[in-house]
Amino acid sequence: MTAPSSLPALPLSDHAEAVLWLGRDPALAELVARVGPLPVLPPTSDPFGTLVRSVAGQQLSVRAAASIYARLVDRLGEVAPGPLLTAAPDDLRALGLSWAKVRTVRSLAEAAQGGRVDFAHLEALPDEAVIERLTPLPGIGRWTVEMFLMFGLARPDVFSFGDLVLRQELERLHPGATSREAQNEVVRAWSPHRTLAARYLWAEKARRKLAAQAGTVNGDLSLQGPL
């Protein structure tokens, strides 16, 4: 779920206005108060490398994902289309990428090098246009692009119903919203700050997990999300 606009929404410079807007939802306001402030997300200066890093780290722990990406940087010198296409697929596999991920990152590199996707100008496109440009590529689904919009391009009004944790936390926050239509109504009311709302749902999940491990409801948290 993204902003229906012909122009991209600008990244937030602070969260003050967004927190006030989200506070119109009493249940979300209580959650925000429990979690506390989250850091502002800046847009990436390297959209291509950010998306490759996202693909490389999918379904892995943060530590494992960071390790694989560090190996890519060490091996390639720069995570860019040219070095990725020059490297043998077997070499990329040996660095820890699955064969499916090797195919995906090479497809991204081919799209960038061949001009099918201009990564340097994705920031100028509205959310749905970015999704339309990237999802035809092998291994790139809507969820992947929504995460890229949120954490790569720092778009402020994205919510992913393809994310299991977000769906679970939304149901927990608003148990009366049992249908997708009702859930859509809840999330639409958070616009134009749905990205921050999603980050707070992820952060609340992490807060509860930390609290359970520590046996307390206290704890510092600055979760940014799944990327």
Contacts of 172 (CB under 8 A, 6+ apart): none
Instruction: Among 151, 168, 195, identify where a domain stops.
Output: 151
| CA–CA–CA angle 132, 103, 151 (5° rounding) | 50
Question: Of 90, 118, 127, 163, which residue is the catalytic one?
Answer: 163
Regarding whether 137 and 194 lie in a shared domain, the answer is no
CA dihedral 59, 63, 67, 70 (to 10 degrees): 100
Q: What does the chain come to in residues? A: 227
| Residue 140 C-beta-side C-alpha neighbours within 13 Å | 27
Assess whether 163 carries a catalytic annotation: yes
The CA distance from 110 to 92, in Å, is: 15
Q: pLDDT, tens digit, for every residue of 143-170?
A: 999 999 999 999 999 999 999 999 999 9
Q: For residue 37, give its domain range.
A: 16-41+159-214
* 16 or 222, higher pLDDT: 16
pLDDT tens-place string over residues 65-94: 999 999 999 999 999 999 999 999 999 999
Mean pLDDT of the chain: 91
Q: Indicate the SS3 state at residue 149.
A: helix
pTM beyond 0.95, yes or no: no
On whether both 192 and 122 belong to a single domain, the answer is no
2: left (phi over 0), alpha (psi -120 to 50) or beta: beta
pLDDT in tens, 156-209: 999 999 999 999 999 999 999 989 999 999 999 999 999 999 999 999 999 998
Strands (E) located in 33-188: none
| Amino acid, single-letter form, for residue 55 | V
In sequence order, which residues have a C-beta less than 8 Å from that of residue 70 and are 6 or more positions away? none
Q: Are residues 143 and 63 in the same domain?
A: yes
Domain assignment present for residue 11? The answer is no
Q: Both 106 and 125 in a single domain? A: yes
Query: Could you tell me the CATH number of the domain that includes residue 165?
Result: 1.10.1670.40
Domain count within the chain: 2
Q: Are 22 and 131 in contact (CB under 8 A)?
A: no
Are 35 and 204 spatial neighbours (Cβ–Cβ below 8 Å)?
yes
